[in-house]
Chains A and B, each alone.
Chain A
Amino acid sequence: MEPITIYVSEVIRYLPQKSQSEIKKELTSNILDMVDELVLGGISEKDAVQSVLSKMGNPRLLADEFLDKKAYLIGPRYYPTYLMISKIVSGAVALGITIAFTAQYLFSADASIFNTILQWLGSTFMGVIQAIAWVTVIFALVERYETPGTVKDMGLIDPKVDDWSVNDLPKSQRSVNKSDRIEGLVGFIFAVILLLLLNTHLEIFGAYMFDNGVLREIVPIFNIQNASTWLPLLSIAIALNGISDGLAMAIRNQTKNTMWIRLSMNLVSLILFAYVLFNGNIFNAQLAFQIAPNSSELNNLWIMVQRNVVVVVIIANLISMSIQSYQIFKFNKA
């Protein structure tokens, strides 16, 4: 009975939530009928189950049969994920733009609230439209080219689509690790907002200097003059981390391949982070001097902070990669 349960759960995991329980019940009943017939013919139950499941074929392909044909841009298999990612990305973009405009308004002496609101509305509208357009294009491409042998290399699809046998079934029903998904969601939103702010309002990352409650200047933390040399690489590193978190959030059942892909992305991201942080000269070396020209203590502190940021980022990445490696190890053992 267990292989049947696993097989059916492998089929329905590709189907929309609302039809899962019906198809589960019906498919199980049909498979049991076929098994009974073979057992009545004198075959052992174990062999009968093997034979029936082999005849039913790859659960993924069977799930495809249950889905309507692909007369759509984004099909039912991806639609819920597409909707979820679109909402999250639009929300994160809107939030990022709002933060940027709020900061701009609060710390700008001559900003008119009316103009700021108008600009904020326009930017949010355009930003959200662009975000949705990009997500749609990516999902449409995945849907269009997601046939055996293409997207499977990305690890989103079982590589054994064509040469499937009962032995390819997992040993037990896959469980959903909710905490991974929530962690992924938080990381993904953080990455989107950070990317947006770094690339559009780099100047808001800084020390805000006030004179009698009025903003005098923002001393930038980053080396703005040199941004074109380090910002693209840093953005790629953050984007890779964000995509890795996005995968953790979007894929209900992580496979070994998705885990490897996430680990590789994080590794590339770590290398880029390390390269940019060590060689990129990304911080404003004059920050301490611009804040307090005569304080050597502040200058020493700022030098220490810059060094420690490098170490903290690298250690945090290494910890995250170690956890992922352990998960792959656990998955292999299961």
Chain B
Amino acid sequence: MAENKELLESLILELRRGTLILTVLSQLYTQEYGYSLIQKIQNKGMNIDAGTLYPLLRRLEKQGLLESSWDIYENRPRRYYKLNAQGEELLTQLTLEWNQLNQIISQCLIREE
């Protein structure tokens, strides 16, 4: 039983990992800094590790999907990230893909008698 629970947890983790980029990109139409993005995503019901998100943001920026800028006028300097044109375009395509996948999987999950 305990083994089953462990397996389920690891499978859920894997499932979520696949949707992580889509989730993060979808929340960056407006600019966010690391911690504000974590809160935003958590408020929508999804948990994300800071240790996963911060490097991911940098990676997405390196891949040319995000733009970033430092705000040094707040009480501490913060780096803000936002989708750029290429990121928006890619997000549109990913969303389309997600919707199709969702439909297909929903179909697959209907148990045929």
Closest chain A CB from B83 CB (angstroms): 18
CB neighbours of B8 from chain A (8 A)? none
Tell me which of B34, B35, B52 contacts A65 (CB under 8 A).
Answer: B52
On whether the beta carbons of A55 and B55 are closer than 8 Å, the reply is no
Chain B 27-41 interface residues, beta-carbon cutoff 8 Å to A: 33-36
CA distance A66 to B56 in the complex (A): 8
CA distance A66 to B58 in the complex (A): 8
Closest chain B CB from A13 CB (angstroms): 16
Stretch of A27-35, A40-48, A92-100, A319-327 that contacts chain B:
A27-35
Q: Which residue of B lies closest to A55 (CB)?
A: B50
On whether the beta carbons of B35 and A27 are closer than 8 Å, the reply is no
A26 near B: Cβ within 8 Å? Answer: yes
A23 near B: Cβ within 8 Å? Answer: yes
Interface range on chain B: under 10, 10 to 19, 20 to 34, or 35 or more? 10 to 19
How many residues of A are counted as interface, with CB atoms below 8 angstroms from the partner's CB atoms?
19
Chain A 1-45 interface residues, beta-carbon cutoff 8 Å to B: 23, 25-27, 29-30, 32-34, 37
CA distance A73 to B94 in the complex (A): 31
A155 near B: Cβ within 8 Å? Answer: no
Contact pattern, A 41-62, Cβ under 8 Å of B = 1, otherwise 0: 0000000000010011100011
Tell me which of A25, A32, A34 contacts B50 (CB under 8 A).
Answer: A34
Which B positions have Cβ atoms within 8 angstroms of A? 33-36, 49-52, 54-56, 58-59, 62, 76-79
CA distance A27 to B58 in the complex (A): 11
Q: Is the interface of B mostly helix, strand, loop or mixed?
A: helix
On whether the beta carbons of A29 and B50 are closer than 8 Å, the reply is no
CA distance A57 to B79 in the complex (A): 22
Which A positions have Cβ atoms within 8 angstroms of B? 23, 25-27, 29-30, 32-34, 37, 52, 55-57, 61-62, 65-66, 68
On whether the beta carbons of B55 and A32 are closer than 8 Å, the reply is no
On whether the beta carbons of A32 and B58 are closer than 8 Å, the reply is no
On whether the beta carbons of B59 and A25 are closer than 8 Å, the reply is no
Closest chain B CB from A50 CB (angstroms): 15
CB neighbours of B79 from chain A (8 A)? 25-26, 29
CB neighbours of A27 from chain B (8 A)? 54
On whether the beta carbons of B55 and A65 are closer than 8 Å, the reply is yes
On whether the beta carbons of B51 and A57 are closer than 8 Å, the reply is yes
Tell me which of A23, A29, A37, A62 contacts B77 (CB under 8 A).
Answer: A29
